[in-house]
Amino acid sequence: MRFPRHLATRCAASLCWVLLAVAGARAEDAAKDAGDAEGAAKTPASDVVQDGSVVSIEYTLTVEGGETESNVGKEPLTYRQGTGQMLPALEAELAGMKAGATKEVDLTAEQGYGPVRPDLFQTVEIGQIPEEARKVGTVLMAQDTSGQQRPVRVQEVKDDSIVLDLNHPLAGKALHFEIKVLSIE
């Protein structure tokens, strides 16, 4: 399964847009912090998340405002570390973790999908939008200049035009992740 940095939509709800996360405590770092160099077992590099690793995780995401999304008990999210498939701040948190490790991570809007950008609101003629979709909050799929599908949300309906919001659905929102690393290959 491939989830690029901007992520693929699985459903119209903005939280379904997010299939990322971050995970667990670093045993090696904990041993260093405890000052127990002799008793601390070093984790082999192949057993930790590092660039090039194929990592499977389960996550629960809580978005500022209380909305949640989770894949716990479902198909895990699998990605390749260091290839930009995850938000950079999330990848940084995953680096060095072992399979079975868990972690909670809070990201600011800037670390996540950035602030809401006013330049990403676009006005189109009302006839370009299907009649049944001419309601505030409706999520439509549009094709960008590179040919990729991306969701756009109806922000405002006017007499002869529609204002579309092209920002990522999670732009401007803080994100809280609860992650478990399931496997590392």
Write down the H helix ranges in 11-141.
Answer: 27-34, 88-94
Question: 74-91: per-residue pLDDT in tens?
Answer: 999 999 999 999 999 999
What contacts 143, CB < 8 A, 6 or more positions away? 149, 150
One domain, residues 56 and 70? yes
Q: How far apart are the C-alpha atoms of 169 and 69, rounded to whole Å? A: 13
Over range 19-48, report the average pLDDT. Answer: 40
* Confidence bin at 145 (pLDDT 50/70/90): confident
Same domain, yes or no: 143 and 174 = no
- Judge whether 144 lies within some domain: yes
* Pair 110, 48 in one domain: yes
Q: Are residues 84 and 96 in the same domain?
A: yes
- Any idea what the CATH number is for the domain that residue 110 is in? 3.10.50.40
Residue-range definition of the domain harbouring residue 128: 118-165
The domain that holds 124 is classified in CATH as: 2.40.10.330
> Do 145 and 105 belong to one domain?
no
Residue 45: the pLDDT is 54
- Give yes or no: residues 110 and 125 share one domain: no
pLDDT grade for 65, boundaries at 50, 70 and 90: confident
Using DSSP, state whether 89 is helix, strand or coil. Answer: helix
> Residue length, the chain?
185
Backbone angles phi, psi at 163, to 5 degrees: -100, 120
Q: Which of the pair, 97 or 148, is modelled with greater confidence?
A: 97
Count of structural domains, the chain: 2
Report DSSP state, residue 136.
T
pLDDT given for residue 108 in this prediction = 97
